Amino acid sequence: MRVMIPTPMNTETHRQQVTHALSAFFTVVICIGLFHFLIPAQINEKAAIVLAPLENPLSVADNAEATEISQGLLDYIQETRKEIEAYDPEEDALIEAYQKFQQDLSKNAEQVLAKRFKLPEMDDALTNEEFTVTEDIKNMVDFWTYMFGVYTKDHIILYHAEDVGIVYSVLDFSELSLLEGNGLDQYKRQTISEEVLRIKKLIKKIADKLGKDENLSGLTPQEMRLAHLLLNAKDHIDLNAEALTENLKYRTGFAHRFKESIVQSGMYMDEMQRIFEERGLPVELTVIPFIESSFNLKAYSSAGAAGIWQFIEATGKRYLKIDEFTDERYDPILAAYAAATHLHHEYQLLGTWPLTINAYNTGPGRMLQAIKALETTDIGTIIKNFKGAGYGTDSRNYYPEFLAALNVYNNREEYFDDLEPLPLETFEFIVMPDDVNIKELARFAGITTSDIAEMNLPLKPDVIAGNKKLPKGYLLKIKPEAKENMILALQDIHREAQFATHHLVQEGDSLKKISTTYDVTIQELAALNQIMPGQELTEGDIIRLPSRDDFEYSSLGGEKESERVIPDEVNKPVF
């Protein structure tokens, strides 16, 4: 091995290197010491100035540097601190669960409406047709325009039953109606009787004149007017004196009732027009309830037609729920959805709106018969000439009534003074997530059963009385301001149903219904309670429910089963 021995020159160099290293080391130590003792003091002094306002944002800092922090920032920091201090994870879970439950109910309502009342494909032909008054039915439309917009219960109108455009005379008792006395009604009856006799004589004179040569010379102006009306109608009415006398009828006007119906319609008309417009249908169709029911919400005819749209049960069941719990024909808005769908279907069959509107009263089959019999789709020709069975006075006048109602409604300010329609009803639909007793729902929501019944006209008496439950899937109508309470109530009831261990059988209950209510299978219920297939349940029996311990109750923001408080009053036992 070769060993290198340092020379004197190498030793001196080594000594210098060691000296430099030691100097550098001590320099670093001194710097660290100065940084540790001097710099933090300056930083802390600055920080004290900056942070002082944060401890009390309302205080004024002496140092001008504190003003560099804006008051808005200070407020934000203060509020953020409060939120952090007040943050409660359990409360946050409750809010999140409520919001999800609310979204589900509202979304379900929209989906139900969209599914049950599908939007038709848009067709320009649906709205291009105008509702014009043709010359052949003008007198009929004029008659109904006066009946709706001018004549009241104090007017007696004498007219021809088969052609209401032939008006013989009008008796006006409006001034006498202000008088008092037991003899007023007798006076009216006597006046009407005398006028009927006068018109009968007039009819005979004119009929005899027309029967000879249609020479109208020698007639008074009033007789001349009637003679021209009869001559214009000779193609569709019998001008024999006896037939004319048999068809002489009289009735009161109902402009007063039409005015009341306009007032009532204010609650629903805008929403109904939106429904029709959304479906591409003429909004003019929404005046149909004026001639169907005068917007009487509880209207029920001798033929079994119900609600303002007057659906008979067979037709109503095509679009609406009609069962032991509810009759949706009585809900103006749901029935409007149904009417729009129904009218669209019939328009596709008949091809014109006058025919479709007339069919709303008499049925599409009869209109098809008229088209075939007369070989025309002209509504005026059909009204005047179709003599088919079932196409009587009401059916013949239906379309002229529609045109008259449309005219009066569109010009309502001209026909009626002091007209103040009711404000539009504001509401929301939510879908019932469970079968619920209305009394229980009202109690949870902090309202009365009458509050719910007032908004939900379809509900039947047994449901309102609490004898039967609101069915799962029912579209509950609520006021927007009551929505939060109602959803909280439904959420509480829904959670109770999830943890019920027994069910008390009520009238009308079945395993299928109970399984739907508690979201369990029929097989589980049958096996647990040893119930044979097809076995009927007896009112008062107690049905055990499968354990749902695996249900994540906390996901709904609720308390644990052991911590749940049982209400003071319930409509079914909670075991």
Which CATH number is 271's domain given? Answer: 1.10.530.10
Beta-carbon contacts of 375 under 8 Å, excluding residues fewer than 6 positions away, are none
What is the pLDDT, as a whole number, of residue 256?
Answer: 95
Q: Measuring CA to CA, how many Å separate 564 from each of 43, 492, 547, 560, 561?
A: 55, 11, 16, 6, 5
Q: Answer whether 330's CB lies under 8 Å from 266's CB.
A: no
User: What is the distance between the terminal CA atoms of the chain, rounded to a whole angstrom?
Assistant: 100
Handedness of CA 350, 352, 353, 357 (dihedral sign): negative
Q: Both 293 and 374 in a single domain?
A: yes
Half-sphere exposure of 526 (CA within 13 A, CB side): 12
CA distance 112 to 337: 12
CA angle 495, 498, 504 (to 5 degrees): 110
Whether 160 and 246 map to the same domain: the answer is: yes
Are 247 and 314 part of one and the same domain?
Answer: no
Q: Is residue 232 part of a domain?
A: yes
Contact in structure between 366 and 392 (CB atoms under 8 Å):
no
Residue with tokens 């329609």: 421
DSSP annotation of 120 reads P
Instruction: Please indicate, yes or no, whether residues 368 and 408 belong to a single structural domain of this protein.
Output: yes
Domain identity same for 210 and 338: no
- Please tell me whether residues 346 and 208 are part of one structural domain: no
Number of domains in the chain: 2
Residue 335 resides in a domain: yes
Give the model's pLDDT for residue 500: 63
Q: Does residue 20 sit within a domain?
A: no
Structure tokens at 418: 């002091």
Q: What is the pLDDT of residues 392-450, one digit of tens each?
A: 999 999 999 999 999 999 999 999 999 999 999 999 998 888 888 999 899 888 889 99
Residue 331 in any domain: the answer is yes
**225 shares its domain with 268:** no
Range of the domain at 243: 154-176+183-252
Domain stop point among 388, 415, 442:
415
Residues 405, 315 share a domain: yes
Q: How many angstroms separate the CA atoms of 170 and 412, rounded?
A: 23
Residues 299 and 161 in one domain: no
Could you give phi then psi for residue 244, rounded to 5 degrees?
-65, -40
Q: With contact defined as beta carbons under 8 Å apart, do 269 and 383 qualify?
A: no
Which regions in the chain score pLDDT beneath 50? 1-11, 14, 18, 29, 34-35, 37-69, 84, 87-88, 549-575
Does residue 572 belong to any structural domain of this protein?
no
Q: Which of 415, 434, 455 is the last residue of a domain?
A: 415
pTM of the model: 0.71
Helix then strand then coil, in percent of the chain rounded to 5, is: 60, 5, 35
Q: What are the C-alpha distances in Å from 508 to residues 162, 468, 514, 535?
A: 51, 8, 10, 13
pLDDT at 502: 77
Domain match, 189 and 300 both: no
Residue 429 belongs to a domain = no
Does residue 163 form part of some domain?
A: yes
Pair 326, 460: CB distance under 8 Å? yes
Indicate the residue among 252, 287, 305 that finishes a domain: 252
402 and 294 fall within a common domain: yes
Q: Is residue 388 part of a domain?
A: yes
Pair 366, 238 in one domain: no
Look at residue 547 in the predicted model and tell me its pLDDT. Answer: 63
